[in-house]
Structure 1
């Protein structure tokens, strides 16, 4: 049993707090008009190595979306079992139900999910290839890929070796006007394609169109710049930020976060305009196809596809362009120990 404290002297809400190593869920019960004030003057940060000589009476959870949730345990303090679990919490997430959501979110782990989405987009001339079903062609790509219908799998296999991390060009989204959005990694430095390989690469990049436009995220910030900017933004938005209110907007501008957001949206708008203006193949090409390609492909679809702006469509978009596409969430969020190669790539990889 716990009470969630409201800010501004708004009392508290009685309920039950459930803690796991993945999320925190508070289920409210009877509402209480008044509640105890915060009793600890020097809060202690809980880590995996924390050792306390007392059972805490209150728990403050700083969420990734900058919310601060405070819970008071007024009877016997936080039970030892709950305390041990709380120290292992990696992130906090509200349990929510979304009205109007029809059916589960497709995970794009089955052939059916890919075929259903391809049919919804009306992408004539494309098919679902199971060439990577056992991840033996590219470990970071999904099992199934959207490729030109006339390209056989035996020819498709010739293309993998010519791209970084073997991440070949494949369809992301089909524009109703006839254009196609593709994404791919950069060409491998040691690539020496033969004549048949060149024919296969042209078929992949053109996607049945006579014109192919390559889009590289050259003017976007590097991953290191984004991480630095986000750290400043997060510190600025926390409740204990030392920045006074009259200087908050200038401090926000100093983080450069809005500049980075503006640059990404502008680039995605250019991609969406290319897709709408002419029937062509627009190919997003990033050195490793794991970060900005995910972002630009998602933003372009949000701008041009009304379905992507619905809750089911957005969930499907994130699953397809980020999760199934192999974005390294753990490394980017600092949840694992990166290898020296990953550190160099994250710290020094620009987008030029």
Structure 2
């Protein structure tokens, strides 16, 4: 079944073309034939029709504006796509406009099942058929590359989760210390949200230090503890040592095996919490209940020369979660490490920040004017990107320079944790800066370790994102194109009244680019602790309706942060900016099966490997389009610019203008700017960049003014002053020179599906 509507006018960025709109079960296609000059007509130049393709999951908002009675205005449908493409279709016939609107909504929202999406019917062109991207990531091969399978290694690959019953959101193979038995893992899993125990994700080949990741512990208001969790983490932090114990670590109970064999041992707190609702929602609700009682003050933090537990959340958020049986490690029980709170906000804050960016761009379909840069700055988007980069810089420094181990977690360990873990590995390991290595990194830290792509991306869409002007269907209409469409209406009315707007001889028709099949937008952080006992098997339900509150731009932020690294270190990456932009588009296109599911188990259960194609087929078949010509693969730690490690220059965080479909000048302002960032975050009192750290905690000591003293371990003021003094002297190196701007690649046109 398909629908074709003739005499449709498309407007974008102040330009317009007439053409035909085609609606198929998986695509919305606008086609038009460009006009040609008289000279070309004489030469017999043949002009081929041009097409602009939209997959339905790309659509973020759709608004029907019926023509007012007794008015010369035309009915219109305005679309905002997840790749920040804004278009408006004008219809001569209002009945046709309504029919198109209902068809778009029907094909976008009514499938209700993942297996009804385009990926399950997509037939690849011949070049893609030569590749099988599902074979690109082999966990055993990757762990062997990292070196943990070498003779004498202190690591092993546990198969406790081979059938995904231990932790449904974790990979089937989990790297853990050789000294830790599966029995210990079984009990340790009861202490971590959704049994997402501390597990290895990166092993440094030079110093044998590690990055491990997990979910939050089930501490609760009673300060529950787990001897097995403590034992597991201490074993991880000991793997790079010879035979000597960790400094300042002495905890005899950790050596006892009795609690391994007896789950009722008094040394293991048995924790039971309610079935999970959503950790991020709980976090927001709890903070709202205490709003006004806690005034958070952030502290500048450098790098600690010790093993580190990184809690990505703001300090207040982490401690608020104790009220529902969750929380953060009590460092009295983890004396072999220091803990840092990074202050990275949750998925709801990130979604709201992106919505504010969208508000600054919202009239892109009806006006060629650039975005309001003050509005962009107020969105806080660059502050959030900078905060994530600063967290990655801290972790990179800890592992790469101070030869320490780092454990990363947030709430469930699949949003902020994935961002920090993956970015840190890009900074630490040149392999992940190659095209193949980056694909392996995404497979490992996002797909295998679990990220809620299906929820964060809103693949099945929601009727709340569709509205008829003056006949609101639901949701927040202001999210679509601004406050009640007021400014948008004024611009649209002025545009419509312009002389010759629909004139057949308008010479500007051809100027509509026929590229932009690239669509990108949302992702981020969510659900809470599961339960103390091993989690039940999870499956993708037959009917899955998108919940707008679970969408967030987490993966988008990761790609944005990667772009910052690429821009700052243009010779250190094998792939180019277009690769990142196209990858973000395919996050939402639903053309491939890679990003349709929340974890490895769901992909296995749904037979994604057999029934869909991998997104990597697309890139590998077009490798030359995504290769960086400036790439220098040589690594030499004795030569500046060729070192193994790279560090983000957080003060130079800039707008990724290409992804928003804007010029560099529109988003970042006129050049040159010598030392200041393109758009400086302005939400700190002095107008400077907000420090990332919201708290430092060690056994018996804390440096934080954001949490009531009664919720923190006792600490002598002298001890706190000493820690603060030590931290203030540890700062990260700053870049001494800024790279020159690189020429941006121009898109050549729409790539046909």
Please state whether the residue corresponding to 1:279 is helix, strand or coil: coil
Tell me if structure 1 keeps the 8 A contact 2:189–2:195.
yes
| 1:172 aligned residue | 201
Change (3 A) 1:261 1:102: farther
For residue 218 of structure 2, the aligned residue among 188, 198, 210 is 188
Change (3 A) 1:192 1:252: closer
How big is the shift at 1:228?
Answer: 1.7
| 2:400 aligned residue | 276
Distance 2:145 2:131 in 1: 16
Tell me if structure 2 keeps the 8 A contact 1:179–1:278.
no
1:22-41 to 2 correspondences below 5 Å = 24=27, 32-33=34-35
| 1:145 aligned residue | 174
How big is the shift at 1:182?
Answer: 0.8
1:2-151 to 2 correspondences below 5 Å = 7=12, 9=15, 11=17, 18-20=24-26, 24=27, 32-33=34-35, 45=63, 61-68=79-86, 84=103, 87-89=106-108, 103-106=131-134, 113-124=138-149, 125=153, 126-151=155-180
Write out per-residue CA displacement over residues 196-244 of structure 1, whole angstroms, 9 at most, x where no aligned residue. 6643442145444456321222243422322221111122223359999
How big is the shift at 1:314?
Answer: 2.9
| 2:231 aligned residue | 199
Write out per-residue CA displacement over residues 251-299 of structure 1, whole angstroms, 9 at most, x where no aligned residue. 1111111111111111111111222113332111323313211111121
How big is the shift at 1:169?
Answer: 0.5
| 1:212 aligned residue | 307
Change (3 A) 1:298 1:240: same
How big is the shift at 1:176?
Answer: 3.3
Tell me if structure 2 keeps the 8 A contact 1:290–1:325.
yes
Higher strand proportion: 1
Please state whether the residue corresponding to 2:432 is helix, strand or coil: helix
Tell me if structure 1 keeps the 8 A contact 2:309–2:407.
yes
Change (3 A) 1:145 1:9: same
How big is the shift at 1:245?
Answer: 5.4
Distance 1:27 1:215 in 2: 49
Distance 1:64 1:284 in 2: 30
Please state whether the residue corresponding to 1:289 is helix, strand or coil: coil
Q: Which has the higher contact order (CA 8 A, sep 6+)?
A: 2
For residue 352 of structure 2, the aligned residue among 202, 205, 228 is 228
Distance 1:6 1:247 in 2: 17
Tell me if structure 2 keeps the 8 A contact 1:6–1:12.
no
The alignment status of 1:314 with 2:344, answered yes or no, reads: no
Unaligned segments of structure 1, at least 5 residues: 36-42, 47-55
Please state whether the residue corresponding to 1:176 is helix, strand or coil: coil
| 1:297 aligned residue | 421
Greater mean alpha carbon deviation, residues 162-171 or residues 99-108: 99-108
Write out per-residue CA displacement over residues 93-146 of structure 1, whole angstroms, 9 at most, x where no aligned residue. 99999x9999433489xxx82102212333343332211122222222222212
Distance 2:108 2:162 in 1: 34
How big is the shift at 1:330?
Answer: 4.5
Distance 2:22 2:357 in 1: 32
For residue 260 of structure 1, the aligned residue among 384, 402, 418 is 384
Distance 1:138 1:351 in 2: 31
Tell me if structure 1 keeps the 8 A contact 2:216–2:411.
yes
Root-mean-square deviation (CA, aligned residues, Å) is 4.9
Change (3 A) 1:274 1:116: same
Distance 2:107 2:694 in 1: 36
Unaligned segments of structure 2, at least 5 residues: 37-48, 50-60, 65-73, 112-116, 247-305, 313-340, 465-525, 531-546, 551-692, 696-753
Change (3 A) 1:285 1:333: same
Change (3 A) 1:247 1:65: closer
TM-score, length basis structure 1: 0.70
| 1:52 aligned residue | none
Distance 1:351 1:88 in 2: 45
Distance 1:44 1:180 in 2: 46
Write out per-residue CA displacement over residues 22-76 of structure 1, whole angstroms, 9 at most, x where no aligned residue. xx37597x953379xxxxxxx9726xxxxxxxxx9986542111013567999xx
Distance 2:433 2:16 in 1: 35
Number of equivalent positions: 323
Distance 2:130 2:102 in 1: 37
Write out per-residue CA displacement over residues 79-101 of structure 1, whole angstroms, 9 at most, x where no aligned residue. 9799636533269999999x999
